[in-house]
Amino acid sequence: MRTLIAMLCCFLCSNLNAEQRRPGHSYDRLNRLGLELAATAPETPLLKSGKVADSPASGRPLVQSKGAKKLRKRLNEMLKKQALGRVKVGIVIADARSGAVWARINGNEALNPASTMKLFTSAIALDRLGPDYRFSTELLGHKDTLYLRGNGDPAFTVGALTQLARKVEKGRHFKKLIVDPFAFGGGVLPPGYGAKKSRACYRAAVGAVALNSGCGVIGVFPTREGKKALIRMEPPGYFFGVSNRTRSVSGKGSTLVVKTKHKALFTHAKITGRIGRKQRNGVHFRYRVSHPPLATANTLIHLLKRRGIILNKTPEMGHTPSASRRIAITKSAPLSALISTMNKKSNNFIAEMLLRGMVQPTKGAATWKAGQRIARSWISKNLQVPASSFEYNNGSGLYSGGRFSARQVVALLVHMNQHPARLQYRASLSIAGRDGTLINRLRGNNYAGRMVGKTGTLNNVSALSGYARNRRGLRLAFSILMNETGGATTRMRKIQNQIAALIIESK
C-alpha cells in the first residue's frame, strides 16, 4: 500500500510540474542552465585540486548520464594536472538543444570574454535585422553639390565607391562634395577604445560612411638610387596629406618610419628613412584614419578627378537635402555574410559598425548609447538574466569591452541554436582545423570540422566558445573563459584544445 501511495504522489507531482512548465519552451531550456540564479548566487569555484563539483549550489543538477559523468571526470583529471594557479577560469558545457548542463566550473563569475563578445553582437544583429539585410550607400545630387550618404555598410570597398563615381555624368557641373554620415550619431571612436593610443587597424574608428574598414595602406616603393621613393595610398586619397622624406638606396635594407597625425579630423602621414632598391614589392604600412567619412569622401574626390570631374579640394560634412536626386546606390553583402567575415576573422570594425547598425529599425540616430541600450535589453530579455549581472560596452570585446559568465555565453549559444537564423549563426563561426582563427587548431585525430567556435584574445585573456559534436552526434554548446593568464596565450589555447577534444570524444 505504501508503495502504491508513493507512486501516486510521484504521478501527481509530475503532472503538476508539466502544467506549470511547458516542455521545450525557451524558459525551460534556460532554466536548466540555472540562469534564473546566475546573477550573484555563489557557485563552487575552480579549486586548487581542479575538482569539478557535481551539484554547484547555484545551478540545477548536472546531467547524470554515463557520458556526462565520464566527461566531468576526464575534465577534472586534465585540469588538476595543469595547475593553473591564479588563472581565473569559467567553463560550462551543455546540450545545445535542451540546455541540460554536462559540466560547469565557476560558471557564474563574470569575466572578460575578449572577442567572444562578437557572439553576442552577431546574434543581436541577426535577430533585429535578419540574415538577408543589406546596408546601402548612395550618391545623390542637388543643384551643384554631390552628396555621399550611407547607413553603415561595414564592408564598403573602393570597388563599390568606384561604381558610384562612374554614374556621375561628366556634363553635370557639380562643384563640391558633401558627405552625410548622420545615420550614426556621436563620436567615431567606439566605447573603450580610448584605453590605448594605438594607430593599428584593429582599433579603427567607424562611421555611417566608411571605406576599407576605416584603415588605409601606405606603400613605399624604391626608385633610382638617391631619389625619393614612390608613395602609393590605398584607397587613393584616404590619407589627406603625405610628406615624403625618403631616399632609395642600394641593397635590400629598409629604415622606413611612418608617422600619422590627425589635423582637423583629417589624417596626415609623414614617411622618412631609406628603402633598398631590391625591395621590388615595396614596404607596406597599415594605419587607421581619424575620421572614416571624411577620408572616404576624399577618396571619392580623387576617383572623380580621374574621370575629369573636378570638385572641392577639401570634403565637407552636411545633411542631404530632401529634394536631392539619387544618382546611384550600392548595397552590401547580406548580413549573414558580414557576420561570417566578422566572426571568422575576428574583425573589430564590423562588430562596432553592427553595434550602431542594429539601432536603425528604431527612430533617431544610431548612437553608441542607443546601441548599448538595445544590446543590453536584448541580452537581459532573451537570456533571462539581470542587466546587472553582465557588461556590454562595445561590440568587439576590445580592451574592457564587456564581462560575461561562461553560463551566460552558453545560454546565448543555446538560445541561438533554436533561433530561425541558427544555420547562418553557426556558419559564421570558425571551423576547427579548416578556416578563420581556428584554422591551426584541432587539426589532428579527426577533430577537424567537428567544432565551430569564436576565439578571444587579449594580453591577459584567452577564450574559446562554440559548438562541438560528440561521438553520439549530439551538439554540445560550450564556453571556456580564462582571465589573468599572465600572457600565456599559447598554453591557454592548448588547454582549450584539450577541453574541446574531451567534448568531441564524449558520448
* Sign of the CA dihedral with 455 first, then 366, 311, and 165 last: positive
Report the b/e string of 166-190 with b at 16+ CB within 10 A: eebeeeeebebbbbbbbbbbeebbb
Distances (CA, A) of 481 to 168, 357, 456, 461, 505: 52, 28, 9, 8, 21
Q: What is the mean pLDDT of residues 474-486?
A: 97
Residues in the chain: 507
**pLDDT tens digit string along 79-122?**
999 989 899 999 999 999 999 999 999 999 999 999 999 999 99
In which order are the strands placed within the sheet that holds 101-105? Answer: 101-105, 88-95, 475-483, 461-469, 451-458, 430-431
Three cell numbers at 34? 540555472
CA atoms of 292 and 459, how far apart (whole Å): 27
**pLDDT tens digit string along 54-75?**
322 235 678 888 989 999 999 9
* Domain residue ranges of the chain, discontinuous segments joined by +: 24-130+341-505, 136-331
Tell me which range, 110-119, 266-275, 300-309, is most confidently predicted by mean pLDDT: 110-119
CA atoms of 200 and 106, how far apart (whole Å): 35
Measure the N-to-C terminal CA separation of the chain; round to a whole number of Å: 40
* Sign of the CA dihedral with 64 first, then 70, 73, and 74 last: negative
CA 144 to chain centre: 40
Q: What is the mean pLDDT of residues 431-460?
A: 95
CA atoms of 57 and 157, how far apart (whole Å): 52
| DSSP 8-state symbol, 214 | G
Q: What pLDDT is attached to residue 266?
A: 86
Q: Kindly report the pTM of this predicted structure.
A: 0.87
Mean pLDDT in the chain? 88
Indicate the pLDDT class of residue 312, thresholds 50, 70 and 90.
Answer: confident
Q: What is the mean pLDDT of residues 190-207?
A: 94
**pLDDT tens digit string along 205-264?**
999 999 999 999 999 999 999 999 999 999 998 888 889 999 999 999 999 999 998 887
| Bridge partner residues of 219 (DSSP) | 232, 284
Residue 13 has pLDDT above 80, yes or no: no
Looking at residue 202, its amino acid is Y
Radius of gyration for the chain, computed over Cα atoms and rounded to the nearest angstrom = 27
| Residue 490, H or E segment | helix 489-505
CA atoms of 359 and 366, how far apart (whole Å): 5
**What is the fold of 24-130+341-505?**
Beta-lactamase (3.40.710)
Angle, CA 465 vertex, CA 436 and CA 128 arms, to 5°: 85
